[in-house]
Amino acid sequence: MDSPGPFDAENQFLGSVLWSDLPGARALMAGMRPGDFARPMAAHVAHLAMQVMAEGQPPGPALLFDQAVRTGQARGEHRATWLSRELADLYGNAAGAVHGPRFKAAVLEHAYRRAAVRYARRLLQAADHADPAGIAARLDERGEVDALAARYRAAAGPDALDPPDIVRPAGRQPATTRREAA
């Protein structure tokens, strides 16, 4: 996987969190999950931030690094060096805490798109190999996609582009022929 640039949404969002005081960081991280991030290191940093904030501390780079060392999440020189560089890059390249909400919406939009791709792949696999009941069951397994769409809309606010429906429930599919419409 290609390494993202320093100004991609995930890096900028996490940098915004690192620049925030505790109330600001809590507001930014509200509703976020480590699984919302595409890069494992970004997910790890988000998890560390959540742990530090749960202890009532602002998620500054030094506190996240200390948390990782204290809890054994940065064992060994290589991991500790990798994490310290990641935190320094996130902090140093961030546009600032004020832009956090914008980047949060972008992170959630990308997470929504990845969830939609996973959902589509499961549907495709079911269409190729499952009986009709199996396909119908897969159509109903859209909880992750719907939850991410709702979190994206909440983060993006009233100016957000609504994520499109992936598949409408069977009762709401538009009729394709006059006979079906009647």
Digit-coded pLDDT (tens) for 13-38? 999 999 999 999 999 999 999 999 99
pTM of the model: 0.81
33 and 65 Cβ atoms separated by less than 8 Å: no
Which positions ≥6 away from 57 have C-beta within 8 Å? 22, 63
CA dist., res. 109 & res. 150, Å (int): 10
pLDDT confidence tier of residue 169, bands split at 50, 70 and 90: very low
CA dist., res. 28 & res. 13, Å (int): 9
Amino acid at 54: A
43 and 37 Cβ atoms separated by less than 8 Å: yes
pLDDT confidence tier of residue 161, bands split at 50, 70 and 90: low
Q: Which pLDDT belongs to residue 83? A: 96
CA dist., res. 48 & res. 43, Å (int): 9
R_g of the chain, CA atoms, integer Å: 20
Q: Please give the class, per CATH, of domain 9-101.
A: mainly alpha
User: Would you tell me how many other CB atoms lie within 10 Å of the CB of residue 60?
Assistant: 20
Higher pLDDT, 66 or 168: 66
Q: Which pLDDT belongs to residue 171? A: 46
